[in-house]
Amino acid sequence: MARRKRGQAVHGWVCLDKPLELGSTEAVSIVRRLFDAQKAGHAGTLDPLATGILPIALGEATKTVPFMMEAEKVYRFTLTWGVSTDSVDAEGAEIARSDVRPSQEAIEAALPTFVGEIEQVPPRFSAIKVDGQRAYDLARDGAEFELKSRPVTIHEATITAADTDRVEIRVRTGKGVYIRSLARDLALMLEAEGHVTALRREQVGPFSTENAVSLDILREMVHRGAASEGLLPVTTALDDIPDLAVTATDAFSLRQGRPILLLPRQIETLKARLSPGSRTVSAFEDGTLVALCQMRAGRLEPDRVFNLQPSSSEAPRAER
């Protein structure tokens, strides 16, 4: 006899505005307990010393987490001049000091160097694995090691505030960018010492400060029996993926793991809407997400199948 899963079958996303000094894993655990959800995960770790957007997936939404790992992100950080630390943030030990205070003009002239596809070396205090161990563990132990540079993309970097001792910069990035590495490299280019004293993530794909909730607000919702007000649909993470409405018969086939045939006009429509290099299509039955599929040779082949109750809020209805 199969063991009954603990918790409730809660499905959706929580766009959490993570507070300072709370780890991402701990934040997920708190949200999972608040909803008494069977399953939970997050889309993109946020350091304890950072605040802002931490998308947390509950239930069937966890199947859409991989799509958020590729999403663009927006950060705003403060780089304070004068002191460098080994972790490039306020938690680390001081390793250098300088009286150099770059001007706003010098910073503006340097920033374009870091825009576009660049090579970036992760900070030593990071979760990157080196010979099976986390880099931050090796760094704390004083071990000697090197991290390889890797290509990352920064779409935009602009100064939003500045004075003699600090500068605030807003950046829009692709995946895998370390803001502390950006701060470290910017200070190095300007022949100055500095470290990150504030970091806030303002957006991850469709999740932003505009649809975020704090833990206090979430607790209040749960207390008054309105937890669902803090949930966003499972499909929130699929905004950039073309959708197709399917019949009940085709929906049944997809749920059974069987591919369905597409009509020529459907193929042309989907091809026009697919991102370059992508084959992923979301299939809906009467507005309820059925499966994420790969379009191949005129067919939709189910990749991830969803166990969701009919809901008109999942996606707009369309004709097949």
Nearest to 228 by CA among 63, 11, 3, 17: 11
3-state SS class at 272 = helix
**Closest C-alpha among 302, 301, 297 to residue 264:** 297
Give the span between the Cα atoms of 275 and 286, in whole angstroms: 25
- Tell me the CA distances in angstroms from 34 to 10, 27, 242, 292, one per residue in order: 11, 11, 33, 28
Catalytic site residue from 17, 36, 47, 240: 47
Give how far Cα 130 sits from Cα of 64, 85, 122, 124, 214, Å. 29, 21, 12, 10, 35
User: Is 239 tagged catalytic?
Assistant: no
Strand runs (DSSP E) across the chain, as ranges?
A: 12-18, 40-42, 51-58, 73-81, 83-85, 94-97, 116-120, 129-130, 133-134, 150-162, 166-173, 194-204, 207-208, 243-245, 260-261, 280-285, 288-296, 299-305
Geometric angle at alpha carbon 92, from 86 and 41, rounded to 5°: 105
Closest CA to 110 of 185, 197, 200: 185
- Residues with a known catalytic role: 47
